Amino acid sequence: GLPDDQIQKGKDIKSISEIVQDGKKFKITVTTGSKVLHNEFTIGEECEMEMLTGEKVKAVVQLEGNNKLVANLKGLKSVTELNGDTITNTMTMGDLTYKRISKRI
């Protein structure tokens, strides 16, 4: 539902994700231009997370296997898979899917 120029801006913008793990505790910081999104959570415990829109929602993040973080945020399913130097983030809402593949720098 976005205009083509807005879609292209989203494709062109670069972001940097920092993931810090301490046992079951995670700190994730995503910097996109001047916007910084910071979330902290403990696997299996309810937390408050900020969505891309700035809205804060309650969620529980689960660990599937030893490399997939899975969360459901207000109808949005987020799966972040860590494989070596590659992070694959897939977000699904209804029949819409967004997939981003990042590499370690």
Domain boundaries, the chain: 4-103
What is the structure's pLDDT at 49? Answer: 93
**CA torsion through residues 58, 75, 20, 29, sign:** negative
Domain 4-103: which CATH number of 3.40.50.300, 2.40.128.20, 1.10.287.3610, 2.40.10.220: 2.40.128.20
Helix (H, G, I), strand (E, B) or coil at 5: helix
What is the structure's pLDDT at 75? Answer: 87
Q: Are 41 and 61 in contact (CB under 8 A)?
A: yes
Please state the pTM of the whole predicted model.
0.80
pLDDT tens-digit map of 18-65:
999 999 999 999 888 788 999 999 999 999 999 877 889 999 999 999
